[in-house]
Chains A and B, each alone.
Chain A
Amino acid sequence: MDVTIFMQQMINGFSLGSMYALIAIGYTMVYGVLRLINFAHGDIMMVGGFLGYFGIAVLGLPFAAAVLLAVVGSALLGMASDRIAYRPLRSAPKISLLITAIGISFFLENSFNVFFGGVPRAFPVPPYMEKMVEVSGLMMPVSAILVPVVTVILLVIILWVLFKTKYGMAIRALAFDVDTVNLMGIDANRIITLVFGMGSALAAVGGIFWAVNYPSVEPMMGVLVGLKAFAAAVVGGIGSVGGAVIGGLIIGFTEVVVVAFFPELGGYKDAFAFVFLILILLFKPTGILGLDFEKSRF
């Protein structure tokens, strides 16, 4: 095996894994505070991709401004979904929340289908992101470097918020005990909405990277990615942000490596995330970083 090709694949794997990680963090954070698998999360990522598309193709915004639009728009959508759909169900059985999440997911997918059609739209990738650059002998597009770099920066920001700010402490406290958070004079509902906003903002970044990579957007683009990112969150240990990143990288790497080195298995690449999911549920149901299911979060 050629070292150059190997390194190239490693970078591709890291890049894909970073995208899964960005989306998986949203699953894991919402699970941490509400014990809810937010099945609409992959669709929030799709909306992020679309907002980026509209920003560039329709409004003629520069790429960075379109990203900002997507991040803000998706965060607002995520917060609105909590405010409108989940908040009234705070004391309802968890299964009601889950069904509601599936409902929001179908609603987003189908309303985008109705209004914008199911045909993939070419995503206008800015030329500088497709430019090939040479890094110590490896040729790769700028986007392949940008994705992991941005992911790492966002990850540092998220961890800083969670561990160094009072809001992050409240999020972690909430994962443990909602009623007692209210006793601190904190509006727990607002903190939960904030979690939805943060997770959705990250998903929007993931959605745009996805759209740049493929390069297209369509209403069902969030379904499979969302499921894989969910698998990543469980593999890493649902409730743990670090775990979501590890799970995302494992699944991203596996997909790339398998396709690169065993091309005959290429047709099965989407299955690997779920193979990991099944294996981890069989042998370590709490995931790689998940410790005590009820006690340790984040």
Chain B
Amino acid sequence: MISIKNLHVYYGLIEAVKGIDFEVKEGEIVSLIGSNGAGKSSTLKALLNSVKKSGEINFLGYDTRNHKTHTLVQHGLSLVPEGRKIFINLTIEENLRMGAFNNDENYEHLKEVMYGLFPRIKDKRHQMAGTLSGGEQQMLAISRALMGEPKLLMLDEPSLGLAPKIVGEVFETIMRLREEGITILLVEQNAFAALKISDKAYVLENGKIVMSGIASDMIGDDTIRKKYLGG
């Protein structure tokens, strides 16, 4: 689905990601875990060419080097950004319409699918999106991304700022999406929750991958437990 070789990300003189390799295969959930500032979000932004970067990215067999963010999204590489970034000055339904901007023919159908997945946003579909709770906003942000029928869905800290019960719902949703055949690249500080639902995981530290492997093995790993899972 996507493979990344020797990726570097720069913010001016600062190098946020220092040469990482990883890969996501079709149908997988892959997690990038690590603490704040490890370079996880920068990596996702780099995959969409919205930050200065170097390295090779191959998405569905194509070199993404010369594409702008919006064309990559049109080709099926979609990001649910950190902090959700729903359009609070648009209604819920209008937010979904924006997700389907280039998908006119399937808009009506997909909208009903999303309302089926998340009945809570259906009830409020004509309200301004800013009136939704944090959890509902996350559901809306995910549905909005799905409206474009992405091949690879990237989620940046979907659990951030949500109550534990809601975090559980969000992760259940992600698992359900995988069952629907969507490939997922997940970035999380909540390492335990991420590892539980992932197939593979990569641990980032100071812009480098320090560990990688099968997610279920990593939950049992002592180093991981100490560092990221709180004992």
Contact = CB atoms under 8 A, between A and B. Distances in A.
Contacts of A298: 89
Contacts of A183: 48, 69, 73, 78-79, 81, 85, 145
A35 to B, nearest CB: 15
B70 interface: yes
A187 B78 contact: no
A4 B87 CA distance: 50
A111 interface: no
Given A169-B94, A179-B50, A295-B130, A184 B101 contact: yes
Contact of A185 (B50, B90, B101): B101
B85 A169 contact: no
B88 A180 contact: no
Interface in A168-198: 169-170, 172-173, 175-177, 179-188
Interface string B38-77: 0000000000101000000000000000001111011000
B88 A176 contact: yes
A296 interface: yes
Interface in B86-100: 87-90, 94, 97-99
B200 interface: no
A170 B89 contact: no
Given A169-B97, A185-B148, A295-B130, A177 B85 contact: yes
B102 interface: yes
A126 B51 CA distance: 56
B87 A176 contact: yes
A297 B94 CA distance: 15
Nearest to B93: A169
B60 to A, nearest CB: 15
Given A169-B90, A173-B87, A176-B87, A187 B97 contact: no
Contacts of B50: 179, 182
B89 A172 contact: yes
- Interface range, A side: 20 to 34
A182 B130 contact: no
- Interface range, B side: 20 to 34
B111 interface: no
B70 A182 contact: yes
A177 B148 contact: no
Contact of B89 (A166, A181, A187, A296): A296
Contact of B70 (A169, A172, A177, A185): A185
B8 interface: no
A182 B89 CA distance: 17
Contacts of A172: 87, 89-90, 94
A262 to B, nearest CB: 42
B208 interface: no
B144 interface: yes
Contacts of B144: 184
A118 to B, nearest CB: 44
Contacts of A295: 88-89, 130
A166 B70 contact: no
Contacts of A188: 70
A187 B70 contact: yes
Contacts of B71: 185
Nearest to B76: A185
Contact of A170 (B69, B81, B88, B101): B101
Contact of A175 (B73, B89, B148): B89
Contacts of B74: 185
A188 B73 CA distance: 13
A170 B98 contact: yes
Interface in B172-212: none
A162 to B, nearest CB: 11
Contacts of B130: 295
Interface string A265-298: 0000000000000000000000000000001111
A183 B144 CA distance: 10
A177 to B, nearest CB: 6
Contacts of A169: 90, 94, 97-98
Given A179-B50, A295-B130, A184 B88 contact: no
Nearest to A297: B89
Interface of A: 166, 169-170, 172-173, 175-177, 179-188, 295-298
Closest A-B pairs by Cβ, 10 of them: A185-B73, A185-B74, A180-B85, A173-B87, A182-B69, A184-B98, A187-B70, A182-B70, A169-B94, A186-B101
Given A170-B98, A185-B78, A188-B70, 10 more contacts: A169-B94, A172-B90, A176-B88, A179-B50, A179-B81, A181-B98, A182-B73, A184-B98, A295-B130, A297-B89
18 contacts: A170-B98, A172-B90, A173-B98, A176-B87, A176-B90, A177-B85, A183-B79, A184-B73, A184-B98, A184-B99, A185-B70, A185-B73, A185-B78, A185-B102, A186-B70, A187-B68, A188-B70, A295-B130
